[in-house]
Amino acid sequence: MGVDYVSTFIQVAEDCPVDRGTVPPRHPDKPSVAAEQYRLITAAPYALTSEDVLFAVHADRAGIPAGEREAARHAYFAAPRACLRAAPLGKKYGWGVHCDEQGRLALYGVETPEYAALATDPGVTALRAMRSARAR
């Protein structure tokens, strides 16, 4: 099951608590999923796919050695996985995720002109990050 999007912009969740892209806090002992996703995507915009990011964070947190990662990645994606719409970057930290035509990712703060342009671009599928709270 693939979790990559192409030509898609994942906008922040409707109930996102911030009004600008906010760097997730980085805990020195064990960085959060959000901090690791942010680090990977911002270190190399439009270089990694959603699957690359999701698996790298999983593998790093699980301590999977480099030589075992190819097999571990196959096993990881053999089961259904949440996509970046469920990630804390868009739910809690104010980051829109742009997936280009090859599925590679970049982040844009909700307050930026680039975010606004992508959110209204007719050539890009616009989706929302999942809400943190259930609608009542």
> Which domain, by its residues, includes 60?
8-128
Looking at the domain assignment, is residue 136 inside a domain? Answer: no
pLDDT of res. 3:
77
Could you tell me the two tokens for 11? 């906008």
* Residue 134, pLDDT above cutoff 90: no
In eight-state DSSP terms, residue 93 is S
* Residue 129, pLDDT above cutoff 90: yes
> What pLDDT digit, counting tens, does each position of 82-111 carry?
889 999 999 999 999 999 999 999 999 999
| DSSP structure string for 39-70 | HHHHHSTTT-BHHHHHHHHHHHHHT--GGGHH
Domain count across the chain: 1
Looking at the domain assignment, is residue 1 inside a domain? Answer: no
pLDDT confidence of 2, banded at 50, 70, 90? Answer: low
Looking at the domain assignment, is residue 12 inside a domain? Answer: yes
> What pLDDT digit, counting tens, does each position of 67-81 carry?
999 999 999 999 998
pLDDT of res. 26:
87
Average pLDDT for residues 36-59, to the nearest whole number? Answer: 97
Q: Are 125 and 9 in contact (CB under 8 A)?
A: yes
> What pLDDT digit, counting tens, does each position of 11-40 carry?
999 999 999 999 999 888 888 999 999 999
Looking at the domain assignment, is residue 27 inside a domain? Answer: yes
Looking at the domain assignment, is residue 67 inside a domain? Answer: yes
